[in-house]
Structure 1
Amino acid sequence: MSNWDAGATLLLGAFHGLNPAMGWLFAVAIGFQAQARRAVVGALGPIAVGHLASMAFTVLVVEELRVLSSEATIRIAGALALAAFASWRIASSHRHPRWVGMCLRRRELALWSFLMSTAHGAGLMLIPVVVGLHVNAHDHMLMPSSLGPVTAVLLVHTVAMVAVAGAIAVAVYEFLGVGVLRRGWINLDRVWAYALGAGAAATLLIA
């Protein structure tokens, strides 16, 4: 994994962690229910599992398609998927997020995280990085089918997401309270939608 791949993966993970819809709001709510910071931190595990599973599912589909199609076809298909998803997110991102019931068991929290990450296109956003890994592998005469670098991307992204989400969750639990969302909501969904569009362009530009 090149420095560009690592940097892009870390930044995408950190940005995902900023969004309350990705899990830190639920971690805070669970902490308030249990009246313990330990509960906030404990909720991050299931959230990470669901997020990682969502990305792995998307990337696995891309890897399987590589067996049946050329790299150029994968790039075009990935770019189209990103562009379509970005358009849908932009059209719907004006809505303030509606949170489901906060009382969730660990298994339910992991499932919720999987669904939310999938709905936000977490795995789709990694397509430019994954495609770039295979381009670099061809350039260096390496085995392009190796899943080692792809696994590293998934893990690095998830660690960055959980680190940022965890830091925000603890800060909100200890100092701010969930009322901060009512006082100053930033529509990160719209920002993420435009980032997906940029990812579509990046996928097409990879040579």
Structure 2
Amino acid sequence: MLGFGAFHGLNPGMGWLFALSLGLQQQRERVIWLSLIPIAAGHALAIGLAALLVLLGLQFISLSVLQWLTAGLLLLFGLYKLFNYYRHPRWVGMKVGFGDLFLWSFLMATAHGAGLMVIPALMGVTGAGMDHSGHAGHVSAAGMDMVLAVGLHTAAMLLVMGATAWVVYRKFGLTILRQHWINFDLIWAFALLAAAGIAAWMAW
């Protein structure tokens, strides 16, 4: 979950580029830091909903079946993103408030499959929680583990996002992005396919 958080934080599509643009637009570094808070919160909500879906799903189907379903969904979504990585959802302009940033971040994380990507890791957390608790308390124990996992994921994302935005703002500016741009959307598609492989391996 920490690794996924760092990867999500590094991806400009998850929010740091938006925060950086707002800071440069208003010529205030403080705007960048303030913008990252609702962006991280919206992302955390998307990941939290994925965790909730895992807990609810385990009430009706086994962990193994849920793992195979997740692997299939990740494979399909990864293939879709692989052939459509150049398409970007557009919901807001550059004049936004904190509520807009929160909603944008939640929608962006959902549309890019960020929650879906971390489900294999969340199921690993859930399985560990169930293994180390009695039958009566396994749901609550797994739930607490999920909350901790989502919190760690969000903290790692916020740390990497903030560091990346600060370095670009202080040292390089947007010029470096025009000269040395990395296609994270394509990397993201391959990451989804890798997560599908991990989910299938865990199920097997």
TM-score normalised by the chain length of structure 2: 0.90
**Distance in 2 between residues matched to 1:151 and 1:201, nearest whole Å:** 25
Equivalence for 2:149 = 153
Q: Which amino acid aligns with 2:63?
A: E
Equivalence for 1:196 = 192
CA contact (8 A) 1:23 1:47 kept: yes
Q: Are 1:167 and 2:159 counterparts?
A: no
Q: Are 1:61 and 2:56 counterparts?
A: no
**Distance in 2 between residues matched to 1:140 and 1:167, nearest whole Å:** 36
**Distance in 2 between residues matched to 1:201 and 1:95, nearest whole Å:** 24
How far is the alpha carbon of 1:91 from its aligned partner? 0.8
How far is the alpha carbon of 1:179 from its aligned partner? 2.4
Equivalence for 1:181 = 177
Change (3 A) 1:141 1:59: closer
Report matched runs for 1:40-119 at 5 Å. Answer: 40-95=32-87, 101-119=93-111
C-alpha RMSD of matched pairs (Å) = 1.9
Equivalence for 1:144 = 138
Give the SS at the match of 2:70. helix
Query: In the TM superposition, what whole-angstrom CA distance separates every residue of 1:138-159 from its partner, at most 9, and x where no partner exists?
Result: 4334443131111111111111
Q: Are 1:127 and 2:119 counterparts?
A: yes
Give the SS at the match of 2:96. coil
Q: Which amino acid aligns with 1:13?
A: G
Q: Which amino acid aligns with 1:177?
A: G
Q: Which amino acid aligns with 1:81?
A: L
**Distance in 1 between residues matched to 2:176 and 2:95, nearest whole Å:** 21
Stretches of structure 2 that go unaligned for 5 or more consecutive residues are none
CA contact (8 A) 2:2 2:152 kept: yes
**Distance in 2 between residues matched to 1:110 and 1:83, nearest whole Å:** 28
Equivalence for 1:6 = none
**Distance in 1 between residues matched to 2:52 and 2:91, nearest whole Å:** 29
Aligned length: 199
Equivalence for 2:31 = 39
**Distance in 2 between residues matched to 1:138 and 1:45, nearest whole Å:** 32
Equivalence for 2:17 = 25
**Distance in 2 between residues matched to 1:28 and 1:136, nearest whole Å:** 38
CA contact (8 A) 1:25 1:178 kept: no
Q: Which amino acid aligns with 1:67?
A: Q
How far is the alpha carbon of 1:194 from its aligned partner? 1.2
How far is the alpha carbon of 1:201 from its aligned partner? 1.7
Stretches of structure 1 that go unaligned for 5 or more consecutive residues are 1-8
How far is the alpha carbon of 1:74 from its aligned partner? 0.6
- Percentage of matched positions with identical amino acids: 42
How far is the alpha carbon of 1:176 from its aligned partner? 1.1
**Distance in 2 between residues matched to 1:35 and 1:136, nearest whole Å:** 47
Give the SS at the match of 1:185. coil
